[in-house]
A and B are shown apart, each in its own frame.
Chain A
């Protein structure tokens, strides 16, 4: 007879139930700890987390996109030229001119044309790229006083808030890294970069806005605003400069429509 078994059955009646339930307990503990494995970035939303995690991914198809965009811009400029030419060609009728003027106005409003004017240039830079200290990302401890790794990165929200502020201060045309913003534009983050209308951009992010320089500067410098907030993290993350004259490119993205049907005006 196995002495082990006999010992249990004789006077150690507690061992078996306790063991059984401690098996359950071990199961529970691992279940809880494994499924809530702490990550220091848990408070971030998943999108930001993945962006930080895959910060070093190379930007693929970076070469193709600007090429195609340039082509589109060129074609659209050409279209404007041709429309103007057509209007001047048929100089006899005033109607063509008026129509063209309206057309060009609408095209400006849609952001399809290149525009010029005074305004501001806001440059947002990731804090880390300035001091070339990528190890700060990995070591949570870091040196005392330095902002946490997640804070000195330019997020899509920062860009959105700057753009929002610019529009609120009366900006008439805004571009981010030479990508013109239009009504359907989106700013979101994927991986280590920010997507503007599906085009990847990365720090430094240059936001140009055409409008009244003083009003725009005033809007941006509002206490408690986004610029204030970014500067409090690291002063070198933001620079604002007034620009006397600059050229913003036209929107180079797609304008095809698949679902919208135009409603005909009633007679």
Chain B
């Protein structure tokens, strides 16, 4: 299930690759705004995966967060350009830190789940092993 968002991202990338690749963005600053917006989108998607794993996922929060984060990042980068402060660096820094946090939480969650699964399997095997002999006895008794 974590593969599905990754797969979807690849599909989107492929679509973009065949549809809009090579359309140049002539304004260098616009490219930076869009790059920052991409970073915001990445952060939101990772946040969505994390909250989904934690069981706190709400579709409305996620979708509005995605859109508003992108817009805010874009706006901040644009504003910074207008007032001659490289605000996009601040945006990139914050979003980068959040992406790291989200990724580490996802990693921990997956790791815990994998360990849990292994542990459960082991316990089940133990249990099955323990139950093997009485079951045979029951069968032969009938």
Counting CB contacts under 8 A, is B75 at the interface? no
User: Of B11, B16, B23, B52, which is within 8 A of A18 by CB?
Assistant: B52
Q: Contact between B38 and A19 (Cβ–Cβ < 8 Å)?
A: no
Determine the distance from Cα of A29 to Cα of B21 in the docked complex, in whole angstroms. 11
Q: Mark B13-47, 1 if CB is under 8 A from A, else 0.
A: 10111001111110010010011011001101100
Counting CB contacts under 8 A, is B49 at the interface? yes
Number of A positions contacting B (CB below 8 A):
25
User: Of B22, B48, B63, which is within 8 A of A34 by CB?
Assistant: B22
Determine the distance from Cα of A34 to Cα of B11 in the docked complex, in whole angstroms. 15
Counting CB contacts under 8 A, is A8 at the interface? yes
- B34 proximity list for chain A (CB < 8 A): 28, 31-32
Q: Secondary structure of the B side of the interface?
A: helix
Q: Contact between A14 and B48 (Cβ–Cβ < 8 Å)?
A: yes
Counting CB contacts under 8 A, is A27 at the interface? yes
Q: Contact between A21 and B63 (Cβ–Cβ < 8 Å)?
A: yes
Q: Which of B1-9, B76-84, B109-117, B124-132 contacts A (4 or more CB under 8 A)?
A: B1-9
Q: Contact between A15 and B38 (Cβ–Cβ < 8 Å)?
A: no
User: Quick one: given A14-B57, A22-B8, are A28 and B38 in contact (CB under 8 Å)?
Assistant: yes
Q: Contact between A19 and B52 (Cβ–Cβ < 8 Å)?
A: no
- A19 proximity list for chain B (CB < 8 A): 4-5, 7-8
Q: What residue in chain A is nearest B9 (Cβ atoms)?
A: A26
Q: Contact between B5 and A18 (Cβ–Cβ < 8 Å)?
A: yes
User: Quick one: given A17-B59, A18-B62, A24-B41, are A36 and B31 in contact (CB under 8 Å)?
Assistant: yes
- B57 proximity list for chain A (CB < 8 A): 13-14, 18
Counting CB contacts under 8 A, is B10 at the interface? yes
Q: Contact between B21 and A30 (Cβ–Cβ < 8 Å)?
A: yes
Residues in A1-52 with C-beta less than 8 Å from chain B: 7-8, 12-15, 17-32, 34-36
- A24 proximity list for chain B (CB < 8 A): 12, 41, 66
User: Quick one: given A13-B59, A15-B52, are A20 and B31 in contact (CB under 8 Å)?
Assistant: no
- B1 proximity list for chain A (CB < 8 A): 7-8, 12, 15
User: Of B13, B20, B28, B49, which is within 8 A of A14 by CB?
Assistant: B49
Interface pairs (8), CB distance under 8 Å: A7-B1, A15-B52, A25-B9, A26-B8, A27-B16, A29-B16, A29-B41, A32-B25
- 6 cross-chain pairs, A with B, having the tightest CB-CB distances, nearest first: A14-B52, A26-B12, A26-B9, A14-B57, A30-B16, A23-B12
B residues in contact (CB < 8 Å) with A: 1, 4-13, 15-17, 20-25, 28, 31, 34-35, 37-38, 41-42, 44-45, 48-49, 51-53, 57, 59, 62-63, 66
